[in-house]
Amino acid sequence: MNDENSHDDLENRPQEDPVYLLDPETEELVMTALNCMVTLADAQVTKADGDALIIIADTLASRFAIDKFEVVETVHTDSDTGDEEIIYTPLSGSILPDDELDDDETFH
């Protein structure tokens, strides 16, 4: 495809991209693939390549109505052995996505 055709395709593209709803089993497969893409983004040689994979994953998640949330990486060091473990938690601090929490719920 040459640049002229590519430009024409963008102009003829609908204003909003379609969103596809998936059955639960397919959604789980797509989520697994998206998680793999995000993990592989960290393994790319250049930051630009990693960022490109994140953009693709975000676009796919949006297209298939899959919610995403940011996580915080915490390194836990075992005081006895010195072994390190990486723990990922949602940015909100809860193990449940924010939209699943009621305002009056308290977790201990």
DSSP-based three-state secondary structure for 52:
helix
Lowest mean pLDDT among 23-37, 50-64, 66-80: 66-80
Q: Where are the beta strands (DSSP E) in 7-104?
A: 71-77, 84-90
Q: How confident is the model at residue 108 (pLDDT cuts 50, 70, 90)?
A: very low
For the chain, the structural domain boundaries read: 19-68, 70-108
Q: How confident is the model at residue 93 (pLDDT cuts 50, 70, 90)?
A: low
Buried b (16+ CB within 10 A) or exposed e, 31-56: beebeebbeebeeeeeeeebeebeee
Determine contact, residues 107/94, Cβ cutoff 8 Å: yes
Per-residue confidence (pLDDT) for residue 16, from 0 to 100: 82
Burial of 72 (0-12, 13-18, 19+ CB in 10 A): exposed
